[in-house]
Amino acid sequence: MRSHASLRRRLVIGVVCFTATITTATTLMGLRFDEQAERHVWEAMFRSAEAHPSVGTPEGAQGVRSPFLAFGATSGKPVPAEFSGLAPGIHEDIRIGARTYIIDVQGSLQAPVVTALDITDMERREERLDLDLLASGAVAVLLLIASTYMAARWLVRPLAKLSTIIGDLQTGARGQRIEVQSSDPSEVVVIADAVNAYLRDIDGYVEREHRFLNMASHEIRTPLAVIAGAAEVAYEQQSMESARLHISRIVAATHDMRDLVELLLALARDPRRLQSNGATASLAEVIPKIVAYHEHLLEGKDLKVVVDNMPACDVSLPQAIAVSVIGNLLRNAIENAGQGVITMSIEDNETLVIAGPGSTLSPEARSQLQSRLARAGIGRGDGIGLELVERLCRHVGWALELGVSTTGSTTARLGLH
């Protein structure tokens, strides 16, 4: 399962990224303004130095040594090779040996007038200041991350608590509710109230479902059992010889209706309850009975059903549901087969395979059959319908695969585990 980042982590990352962006932009702008201001200061200092004759002399008029050095025609000192060849204007970070200078070049390239200022000590102090700023910035970022983490933890604590409570809710359990504290924020209370409302609705739905299933199990099954029993008794009476065909139809319709009721009731129940109620069905015992029950469908066809490779295999479901599913798959194989043998076998002790022979259907009819199987739904004459069978298989966790070959043969594979 894909893991998701926590809300606290998202908050911390968002705040840190926002702060880092603002800090970076502010720093870049500050550096740009600092460079521009520094250049203006240098220009003002050089212009001021040019206006005083003390430039380049050991001491000025007030006995103060000038920090500026003058070279060129006006000072009588030759221009150092490091300063020559520079275009007129201010040039920063010019190095002579271990010293760093900023110079102002005036005049032409042939007769330049150079004023230099030794800024080595200033550069060192600036480097130390930059290091101090970087260190203080790193400390500030660390403090920001720690404070943001603690603040985010405090902010999302109610939501984290709520998510833990919701995650601990047990599927299928009834009467569960989310308790809120007076200190919880209003947003958490709204979410908890909404979830509690859904839980109450689910409890009500489950209660109504249980009542309906309990009532339906008795009120629907009992009349069907009575009708089927009475019809079977009437079928055996000699005086009912002329009506046996109609009575047999009643019996068959009643059995189909009973299977439909079992299937619909199974679909309405929780699949975990179906598999955990302790009921099991042995396929080695059930399948021969299913084949015998459907033998009347073979009348008038050069067709037979063979049970092959049927080891002991039990399924954790009520026998009526297993009979309904397998019986309808067998009925479908019989009604879509021409002549030959339908085989029923179990592969790997977990997959029931019902393979029918090629049919005598026309290509058009075979195409219609393939489309019908692809939709997993068939007509009224085919038992309860493959659509409901497929839904029931999904409901109880069985894997049903239906297929039709180019020769018209049908294959149903039912994974039972």
Say how far apart CA 257 and CA 252 lie, in whole Å: 9
Q: Does 28 share its domain with 159? A: yes
Q: Does 162 share its domain with 288? A: no
Number of domains composing the chain = 3
| Domain enclosing residue 342, as ranges | 279-415
Q: Does 331 share its domain with 377? A: yes
Closest to 179 (Cα-Cα) out of 170, 169, 171: 169
Q: Is residue 268 part of a domain?
A: no
Q: Is the pLDDT of residue 26 over 50?
A: yes
Q: Does 155 share its domain with 288? A: no
Give the CATH number for residue 330. 3.30.565.10
**What average pLDDT does this structure show over 302-330?**
81
Q: Is residue 337 part of a domain?
A: yes
What pLDDT, in 10s, does the model give residues 218-232? Answer: 777 788 888 888 888
Confidence (pLDDT) at 74: 67
Q: Does 26 share its domain with 161? A: yes
Lowest mean pLDDT among 252-266, 349-363, 370-384: 370-384
Please state the pTM of the whole predicted model.
Answer: 0.49
Q: Does 43 share its domain with 10? A: yes
Retrieve residue 343's tokens.
């085989």
Backbone angles phi, psi at 114, to 5 degrees: -115, 130
Q: Is residue 229 part of a domain?
A: no
Q: Does 295 share its domain with 365? A: yes
Q: Is residue 241 part of a domain?
A: no
Q: Is residue 247 part of a domain?
A: no
Q: 14-20: long-range contacts at Cβ-Cβ below 8 A with a sequence spacing of 24 or more?
A: 15/144, 15/148, 15/152, 16/141, 16/144, 16/145, 16/148, 19/141, 19/144, 20/141
Amino acid letter at 3? Answer: S
- β-partners of residue 69 are 116
What pLDDT, in 10s, does the model give residues 146-171? Answer: 888 888 888 888 888 888 888 888 87
Task: Supply the Cα-derived Rg of the chain in whole angstroms.
Answer: 47
Q: Is residue 77 part of a domain?
A: yes
Q: Does 143 share its domain with 288? A: no
φ/ψ bin of 46: left (φ > 0), alpha (ψ from -120 to 50), beta (otherwise): alpha
What pLDDT, in 10s, does the model give residues 54-82? Answer: 544 444 444 445 577 777 766 667 777 77
Q: What's the distance, Cα to Cα, between the start and end of the chain in Å? A: 23
